């Protein structure tokens, strides 16, 4: 991969896209491009086609998506399936029509069946029912994976899908209505600490197990896929290690300095019992994560403290 290759990063202002941009810049890539949602509406097919025709990217990295936790997925199922399909279909098809040879599609571990054997292997895709609380987002992402696979099969282009485990890190979404579990916990424990170490109420039983990957490690995985022609169409990207939600809460409580009580609201859903990724395929090719969970949470909390005044609640 030439360091002057024109690389378009869709979603470059988001947590994942900005990490990819930072990582590529640090490695000497000089021809990166992105467009804000105000400049380019990725849901608009004609606008995307015109943008590609005008800017002529040579590689596309799709880190753009409408994302959220259990609450957001449950309350806005139509937006989660439709907007994500519009975004990815427009990007993938425009790239194909423009003759772009390399496309990296980013998905999520929620594409795998709710009760699949652990750890989750790539071949488990489409072998069982999805987790109902986020099936809308999962179905959209599955169509993206299969579309890239179809292009790979029919046209022989290097279109590859990377499925990250739960991502977190700097530039995360800390909105309590739409955020994922880790950033939501950081904000809850921080606010409770500021409120004289008030009790923190968390959803569920605390028993489900989850795996978390620091976003800069994900960005390194994307660069690995960029600089190498991966032999298969689908790869998991994670740590291969997990912990209970209760252990996560206790870790975040320690890092934020909260000393109050944790209350588990068992009337709220737990979601999938366990989602551990089998990352052996990426390991065999030579990629492995570097940042352990405690270090990553500390970095994320430091960033949160620096930007806490800028964080606003998001209206759906």
Structure confidence by residue, pLDDT tens digits, 188-227: 999 999 999 999 999 999 999 999 999 999 999 999 999 9
CA 304 – CA 310 distance, rounded (Å): 10
Mean pLDDT of 18-24: 98
pLDDT of residue 315: 44
The verdict on whether residue 28 carries a ligand-binding annotation is: no
CA 85 – CA 94 distance, rounded (Å): 14
**Which residues are within 8 A (CB) of 23 and not within 5 positions of it... i.e. 6 or more apart?**
216, 219, 220, 222, 223
CB atoms inside a 10 Å sphere around CB 59: 21
| Candidates 29, 51, 137, 233; catalytic one | 137
Whether cis (ω within 30° of 0) applies to the bond prior to 119 is: yes
The verdict on whether residue 246 carries a ligand-binding annotation is: no
pLDDT of residue 254: 98
Largest CA distance in the chain: 61
Structure confidence by residue, pLDDT tens digits, 139-181: 999 999 999 999 999 999 999 999 999 999 999 989 887 778 9
The verdict on whether residue 134 carries a ligand-binding annotation is: no
**pLDDT exceeds 70 at position 312:** no
CB atoms inside a 10 Å sphere around CB 315: 7
**Which residues are within 8 A (CB) of 247 and not within 5 positions of it... i.e. 6 or more apart?**
none
The verdict on whether residue 190 carries a ligand-binding annotation is: no
Do 60 and 104 contact (CB within 8 A), yes or no? Answer: yes
Domain ranges across the chain: 7-310
**Which residues are within 8 A (CB) of 270 and not within 5 positions of it... i.e. 6 or more apart?**
203, 204, 205, 207, 208, 245
Give the tokens for residue 67.
């994302």
**By C-alpha distance, which of 85, 13, 97, 120 is closest to 50?**
97
Do 182 and 297 contact (CB within 8 A), yes or no? Answer: yes
Topology annotation, domain 7-310: Rossmann fold (3.40.50)
CA 191 – CA 185 distance, rounded (Å): 10
Q: Which residues pair with 263 in a beta bridge?
A: 201
3-state secondary structure of 212: strand
Based on the residue annotation, tell me whether 112 is a catalytic residue of this protein: no
The verdict on whether residue 23 carries a ligand-binding annotation is: no
Q: How far is CA 68 from CA 59, 80, 117, 145, in A?
A: 27, 9, 25, 20
pLDDT of residue 307: 93
The verdict on whether residue 14 carries a ligand-binding annotation is: yes
Give the tokens for residue 237.
């990207």
What percentage of the chain has pLDDT greater than the value 90?
A: 85
Structure confidence by residue, pLDDT tens digits, 57-75: 999 999 999 876 667 777 8
CA 262 – CA 249 distance, rounded (Å): 8
pLDDT of residue 76: 85
3-state secondary structure of 9: strand
The verdict on whether residue 34 carries a ligand-binding annotation is: no
Give the tokens for residue 309.
């005044």
The phi, psi pair for 7, rounded to 5°, reads -115, 120
Q: In which band, very low, low, confident or very high, does the pLDDT at 82 lie, cut at 50, 70 and 90?
A: very high
């Amino acid at each position: 991969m030439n360091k002057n290759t024109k690389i378009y990063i869709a979603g470059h202002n988001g947590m994942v896209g900005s990490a990819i941009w930072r990582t590529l810049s640090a490695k000497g890539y000089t021809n990166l491009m992105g467009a804000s949602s105000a400049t380019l509406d990725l849901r608009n097919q004609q606008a995307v086609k015109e943008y590609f025709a005008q800017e002529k990217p040579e590689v596309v990295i799709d880190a753009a998506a409408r994302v959220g936790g259990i609450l957001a997925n449950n309350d806005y199922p139509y937006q989660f399936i439709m907007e994500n399909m519009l975004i990815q279909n427009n990007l993938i098809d425009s790239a194909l029509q423009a003759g772009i040879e390399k496309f990296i599609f980013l998905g999520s571990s929620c594409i795998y069946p709710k009760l699949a054997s652990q750890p989750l292997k790539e071949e488990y895709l489409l072998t069982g029912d999805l987790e109902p609380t986020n099936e809308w987002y999962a179905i959209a992402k599955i169509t993206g994976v299969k579309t890239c696979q179809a292009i790979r099969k029919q046209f022989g282009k290097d279109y590859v899908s990377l499925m990250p485990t739960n991502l977190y890190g700097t530039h995360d979404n800390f909105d309590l209505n739409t955020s994922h579990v880790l950033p939501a916990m950081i904000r809850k424990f921080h606010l409770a600490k500021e409120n004289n170490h008030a009790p923190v109420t968390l959803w569920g039983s605390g028993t489900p197990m989850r795996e978390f990957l620091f976003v800069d490690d994900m960005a390194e995985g994307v660069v690995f896929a960029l600089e190498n022609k991966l032999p298969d169409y689908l790869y998991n990207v994670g740590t291969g290690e997990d912990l209970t939600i209760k252990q996560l809460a206790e870790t975040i409580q320690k890092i934020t300095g909260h000393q109050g009580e944790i209350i588990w609201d068992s009337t709220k859903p737990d979601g999938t019992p366990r989602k551990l990724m089998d990352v052996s395929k990426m390991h065999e090719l030579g990629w492995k994560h570097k940042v352990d969970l405690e270090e990553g949470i500390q970095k994320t909390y430091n960033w949160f403290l620096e930007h806490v005044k800028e964080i606003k609640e998001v209206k759906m």
